[in-house]
Structure 1
Amino acid sequence: MSSGRFQARYYGPDLQYHSGPTTFDTKGDAQAWLMTERALVSQQRWTPPKVRDDEARRAAGRRRAHTFAVYAERWLEGRVTTRGKGLRPSTVAGYRNALDVHILPAFGALPLDEINSAVVRHWRGQFATRGNDSAGAKAYSVLKAILQTAEDDELILRNPCRLKGGGSAAKVRESVALSPVELAALVDAMPDRWRALTLVSGWCGLRIAEAAGLRINDVDLTTGALHIRQTAQYIGHPARLVLGPPKSERGIRIVHMPDHVIEAMGTYLGTKAGTSPKGFVWTRTDGQPISRHTTLKAFQTATASIGRAGTVWHDLRHTANTLAADAGATQATLQARMGHADPKVSALYLHTSQARDQALAAALSRMAGPSPSP
């Protein structure tokens, strides 16, 4: 050509002439294209170049249309537990929040195969920079699960979420276990309407959603039993009340109260005389079940007053676990009482407190006999 570029053209099996998709910089480039076409003919894989180009453009269009956002929505709709059951509303809400707030803004518009490890690594690192590592760990775990399913579906060759520790966050604080004396002081510092709730949480280890889901007919003062059958949670934005089963199958259980908790529950339920047996034990001012926010202000004031500022409500469950372990509960007993699905979680509480360790040392001293005279 007068332009100095080279054209390639050949007579195809369809008895038609076919030209290269463009002109070539060198004669060698043009010959290489012709050799490729010749190889397709000899391998009986040949179709007209224009047909192949059109199909390639359509495939690219389909790939661009199959964005992460489209796939993620389908993934969430079809997600089930390992036992094939539907997800709990709180789990769905957690996935939804991670997608809407953190994942889709970063990856939603991208085709699945354009999400690579470098992009994921940079995205995950930004959470730590912003001081929001816990949210980053949760979002990373959701992203990894979605892309693992995409790999299983053979839509991508390899899951790009390969960051070691990406789904873990540095623990911001250690859980606090109150002593029996501190727990009693906390109960005294709480408003009257929340004292029985504080006792049930601190001695029986109910999750706040389990306590919120308790109905009056779930409390048997004769046997001292609490029948844990459901949870009450507020899910989504705006929040809506969702009643459902406990966190796991083991969460459906009977927990027996110590005598002083039975007495406090009896006193409290006496203030609800005339309430339907199906009524909730603890309610907000509007009659709806409580949430973790309902007692927040009172709890913060009470914990500060006993020198335990910074304690959170879930620490009461940790307290109950620790007290039960110190009282001699076995791992199996703890697992049943606390409704743990994983025995490893219960095992975490099979440690002794400082007071119990001191008692053990005293017992060992007694076993050794009287101390020698100085």
Structure 2
Amino acid sequence: MAWAEKHGNGYRVRYRLDDNRLSTETGFTTYDQARDRALDIESLMRTGKFVDPRAGQTLVRNWVLAWSEATDVSESSWAKYDSHLRNHILPRFGDTPLNQISRIVVKGWVKKLRRGLADNTVADIVTLFSMILGEAVDEGLIGANPCRKLRARTGDQPERPHATTIQVRTIAAQTVRAQDEILIYTAAYTGMRWGEIAGLQWPNVDLDNAKLRIHPDHGALHEVNGRVYLGPPKTAASVRIIDLAPCTVAMLTLLRDSQPDEQRAVFTGADGGWHRRSNFRRRVWLPATQGHRTRGWVPVIPAMHFHDLRHTHKTWMIEDDTPDVLQHRRLGHRQHGISGVYSHTTQVMADNLLAALQRRWEQSGSTIRGDLYRTTKGVKIFCSQSAPTDAEQPADEDRRRAV
């Protein structure tokens, strides 16, 4: 039972909790406000939705500690969570009781975050905070999640760029090592994520059957706090088989034949170890896309990120009328809704896609240049079936390019 009564210059609401203790809510200026709150409390008690206000007095930092001990995520995901908690969430809300976090306060905090952070980063922070507060609701500490359905993105972020086959050819050619050239081509012609392609191992590449596998246990390279290691790919849908176009098979075959038999990694850094994303970006990707005056390389798409090669592959599939179900499967995305249940990929779909990719390769005049001479015997290789002409022999200066 709950009731309203006079208290000082205003009114208050009193009610008994399950343990028969008397609780009070104050701050109502009129009797009608207090009476309406009392009726609401009685209704919530009858439906089992009433939240004991004492539980909501838990500080956010204490609840985060309990939440983190019960949360099981990958090491890379936790590294991101920990960064958001230390840098943004706990400095603002750590000493605030859970039941004193209002939606309007959260919206003001998000507005300030937007002044110095990218939209995607703000969205990640709000999503994490919403997850934490949602668990507090489920545990009965607060009655509602103040972050629920909160719009974290402004909606005005620029569209990410994609490349034509000619632009991909130019970007790939503007590399020092032939291995990096093949890496860029492979990313564009498969749509693989950076971690998937950087962590690709030869045992997961079946060149005879033109397929590669993203392994569920070690299908991606992760980099956390300076440590590089193999682990699971991003999501369960990322575990997949990727069919390879003839040009990609030919490139990877050349690369395989140029490497020691005991080497497991398909692509390595300059020192023969695993790639580090920041090193690859600085040494390979930025000169290839933004140009390099000393080497005579021209700017292609200066604002393009390596991840935009996935956007590129997706765009190519749309242009080539690839069915949605195959687009999702190839990129390692889960297809939601009825289509995800009743749509299935077929070999006919895959063959059509690979034929379209091969046409793109040949029509763009793409080639593999470099010192893969153990296999190529000094001949400039075309990954189509056409034979090279005398004019296509590599110049002497091309021989300095190392795998």
The reply to whether TM is greater than 0.5 is yes
**3-state SS of 1:294 partner:** helix
Q: Tell me the CA shift for residue 174 of structure 1.
A: 1.3
Aligned pairs for 1:187-206 within 5 A: 187-191=172-176, 192-206=178-192
CA distance in 1, matches of 2:54, 2:131: 26
The within-5 A match list for 1:98-177 is 98-162=84-148, 164-166=150-152, 168-177=153-162
RMSD over equivalenced CA pairs, Å:
3.3
Name 2:352's counterpart in structure 1. Answer: none
Q: Contact 1:182/1:306 (CA < 8 Å) preserved in 2?
A: no
Name 1:342's counterpart in structure 2.
335
Cross-structure match for 1:69: 61
Candidates 167, 178, 193, aligned match of 1:207: 193
Q: CA deviation at 1:134?
A: 3.1
1:322 maps to what in 2? 315
Paired residue for 2:209, among 217, 223, 228? 223
Of 269, 276, 284, the match for 1:284: 269
Residue of 198, 219, 227 corresponding to 1:240: 227
Unmatched 5+ stretches in structure 1: 1-27, 48-58, 80-85, 348-355, 357-374
Contact 1:121 1:163 (C-alpha < 8 Å) held by counterparts: no
Q: 1:208–1:291: 8 Å Cα contact kept in structure 2?
A: no
Match of 1:268 in 2: 255
Q: TM-score, normalised by structure 1?
A: 0.68
Measured at CA, do residues 46 and 255 of structure 1 come closer, stay the same or move farther in structure 2, by a change above 3 Å?
A: closer
Correspondence for 1:251? 238
Q: Does 1:91 align with 2:85?
A: no
Over 3 Å counting, the alpha-carbon distance change for 1:288 and 1:110 in structure 2 is farther
Aligned residue among 175, 186, 190 for 2:171: 186
Distance (Å, rounded) in 2 between the aligned partners of 1:100 and 1:286: 34
Q: Which moved more, 1:106-115 or 1:88-97?
A: 88-97
- Preserved CA contact (<8 Å) 2:98 2:142: yes
- Long gaps (5+) in structure 2: 1-6, 23-51, 291-297, 344-355, 357-403
Residue 6 of structure 1 corresponds to: none
Q: Distance in 2 between matches of 1:70 and 1:108?
A: 8
Rg comparison, structure with higher value? 1
For residue 17 of structure 1, what is the aligned residue in structure 2? Answer: none
TM-score (norm 2): 0.64
Q: Does residue 301 of structure 2 align to residue 308 of structure 1?
A: yes
Relative to 1, partners in 2 of residues 1:286 and 1:114: Cα closer, same or farther, differing over 3 Å?
Answer: farther
Question: Post-superposition, which runs of at least 4 consecutive aligned residues in structure 1 deviate over 4 A?
Answer: 59-64, 343-347
Q: 1:46 to 1:119 in 2, by over 3 A?
A: closer
Find the residue that maps to 2:212 and give its secondary structure: strand
Query: Which residue in 2 is equivalent to 1:8?
Result: none
**1:16 aligns to what?**
none
SS of 2:228's equivalent?
strand
> Hey, what's the Cα distance between the residues in 1 that align with 2:109 and 2:276?
33
Give, in whole Å, the separation in 2 of the partners of 1:331 and 1:113: 45
Indicate if the aligned counterparts of 2:207 and 2:249 stay in contact, CA closer than 8 A: yes
2:369 corresponding residue in structure 1? none
State the number of aligned residues. Answer: 288
Deviation string for 1:146-186 (max 9, x for gaps)?
Answer: 112111211112222257413x3435331222111111121
